[in-house]
Chains A and B, each alone.
Chain A
Amino acid sequence: MTPDALLALWERWSRIAGVAGIVLSLVGFLINREQFLRSYLFAYIYWTGMGIGCLGILLLHHTVGGKWGLVIRRFLEAGARTLPFMAVLVIPVLMGLSILYPWARPDAAQDPAIRSKTAYLNVPFFVLRTVLYFAIWTVYARLLSKRSEEHDLTGDDRLIRHMRALSAPGLVVFVLTATFAFIDWVMSLEPEWFSTIYGVMFLVGQVLQAFALTIALLAVLSRFAPFDKYLTAQHFHDLGNLVFAFTVLWAYLSFSQFLIIWAGNLPEEIPWYLRRLGPGWGAVAVFLVLFHFAFPFLVLLQRTVKRRATLLLKICVLMIFVRMVDVYWLVEPAFYPSRISVRWVDLATVLAVGGIWLSLFFWQLRTRPLLPMRDRRLEEAPRETVAF
């Protein structure tokens, strides 16, 4: 089986899963509109996060030029190109603003904690900002993909410098827009609460899941042409180190936020954690500490795991799953503060949005060669790290 046939097969499966998910979600929508929106927001944030993470890694790769990035660049570009389509899928969230977000409700003006924030948290400005985020991300995704495609045809090295010149300032714009996006879409579900570390914490998690997805894909495709000719153990080692680094960074940022709020113990801050450590949600938090940090941390310390594609694949699959749990734990307690409540619609919406996202991703992936063949840096293996 050729890699293209494999990708076509996955695209078809994704489309089938997506259609099944859409049908189930529609049933959920007809039964309970409020529950549908709550589940949809979670699924939407998780899968859009894949695209946002891909764009972030792409900008990082073009800026620093590491050889690890060349082998996953086409995955990243395909992931980033899904963002304009995800902009369409935000429409249900925008239509349900007054159901999802307390600040968008008619009675919000009576709450003094929200009233002082209405200059920022109001429906027109929220919609405008969301449109702006997607416009900016789409421009970067398009500019970088276009130049990368041109480089495939011409092999002109000026294009590489051009992409770097775009990406370095682009990284600043990206981190700012992504920070504001997560503050808007997720943090404002509990509008009385705020945390300055939140945007970066969320973004690092989404970059981590994008790394996990692209590396998993690379590991599966590694025995096919054209990957088999270029991939070395060192490529996986470098990528494994990046997963390790982002896992630790996620833990560092998450714990920092927790420690500061726990130490302050202020009435406007601590309820956010009281909700997330309450019945049921507390067990999810312990699960995250163990499987989003402790277990992958200990496993990824080992050099052999990072150098072997099959082992790294397993860790990446785990990370793809625990990221979903983390997004769930961040989003849903806003709706179910007293105890955990997993509904079947949660799974239906994950299937629907996930099926759509993955089929878009594989479709975009198949429109270009799977490796940037004219990039001369592809010929050289990354420099070997002996110890770590």
Chain B
Amino acid sequence: MLTETRVASQIELYGLMASFRQPEPLLAAARRAHSEGYRHLDAYTPMPVEGLADAIGFRSNAVSRFVFCAGLTGAAGGFGLMYWISVIAYPHIVAGRPLNSWPAYIPITFECMVLLACFTAVIGMLAMNGLPQPYHPVFNVDSFERASRDRFFLCIEASDPAFDPVRTRRFLEQLDPEEVMEVAP
């Protein structure tokens, strides 16, 4: 027992990973792990699993809020730009209409909103999920390639305050996984 603890702690670990053959046990395991207090955990599946994001404690997505603000900024900017051009910078009467002919500004306003919102969505998504990422420790596990085929993985990361190499391994093993593997950093 004592030696086991020492050996495990001597090897630097990224985390422990359990593999499952079906999505349902993974979902149950993720719920258990979250209720046990683990927070630094991630699940890897070959297809979307209903409720999994919820189970690992994913609550809300900050990207959507950034996108909303960017959309508002884009709309205000687009409208402001059109207003500045037509009313302040180049005040020309066209077709007898008032200078501030706002219906004509709407398409540009809409396009600027979409432009800024889309850029923010793509760049914000990449910035916040850490992609592109040329190296990730989970690929050190040999069988992990099956995450894109027919296996479901749950990884509890060593950075979790509740993580303990021995206790976490024992916890994962009682969840009835196919296998529990150490993930080298």
Chain A positions near chain B (C-beta within 8 angstroms): 232, 234, 255, 258-259, 262-263, 265, 301, 303, 381, 383-384, 386-388
Chain B positions near chain A (C-beta within 8 angstroms): 48-51, 53, 58, 61, 63-64, 68, 95, 103-104, 106-107
Task: Give bound CA distance, A303 to B62, whole Å.
Answer: 12
* B103 partner residues in chain A, CB cutoff 8 A: 258-259, 262-263
Task: Give min CB distance, A296 to chain B, whole Å.
Answer: 16
* B48 partner residues in chain A, CB cutoff 8 A: 383-384
Identify 7 new A-B residue pairs, CB closer than 8 A, beyond the known A259-B107, A384-B49, A387-B61: A255-B106, A258-B103, A259-B106, A381-B50, A384-B53, A386-B58, A387-B63
Task: Give bound CA distance, A301 to B64, whole Å.
Answer: 10
Task: Give bound CA distance, A116 to B106, whole Å.
Answer: 36
Task: Give bound CA distance, A1 to B80, whole Å.
Answer: 57
Task: Give min CB distance, B114 to chain A, whole Å.
Answer: 12
Task: Give bound CA distance, A383 to B61, whole Å.
Answer: 18
Instruction: Determine the main DSSP class of A at the interface with B.
Output: loop
CB-defined A-B contacts under 8 Å, sample of 6:
A258-B103, A262-B103, A263-B104, A386-B53, A387-B61, A387-B64
Closest-by-CB residue of B relative to A387 is B61
* B49 partner residues in chain A, CB cutoff 8 A: 384
* A386 partner residues in chain B, CB cutoff 8 A: 53, 58, 61
Q: Is the CB of A384 within 8 A of B51?
A: yes
Closest-by-CB residue of A relative to B95 is A265
Closest-by-CB residue of B relative to A262 is B103
Known: A259-B103, A301-B68. A384 touches B50 (CB 8 A): yes
Task: Give bound CA distance, A383 to B68, whole Å.
Answer: 24
Task: Give min CB distance, A338 to chain B, whole Å.
Answer: 23
* A301 partner residues in chain B, CB cutoff 8 A: 68
* B51 partner residues in chain A, CB cutoff 8 A: 384
Task: Give bound CA distance, A47 to B14, whole Å.
Answer: 63
Closest-by-CB residue of B relative to A258 is B103
Task: Give bound CA distance, A330 to B104, whole Å.
Answer: 23
The 5 closest A-B pairs by CB, nearest first: A384-B50, A386-B53, A262-B103, A387-B61, A381-B50
Task: Give bound CA distance, A262 to B95, whole Å.
Answer: 11
Task: Give bound CA distance, A386 to B50, whole Å.
Answer: 9
B49, B50, B51, B63 — most chain A CB neighbours (10 Å): B50
* A303 partner residues in chain B, CB cutoff 8 A: 64
Task: Give bound CA distance, A148 to B89, whole Å.
Answer: 64
* B106 partner residues in chain A, CB cutoff 8 A: 255, 259
Q: Is the CB of A383 within 8 A of B58?
A: no
* B107 partner residues in chain A, CB cutoff 8 A: 259
Closest-by-CB residue of A relative to B51 is A384
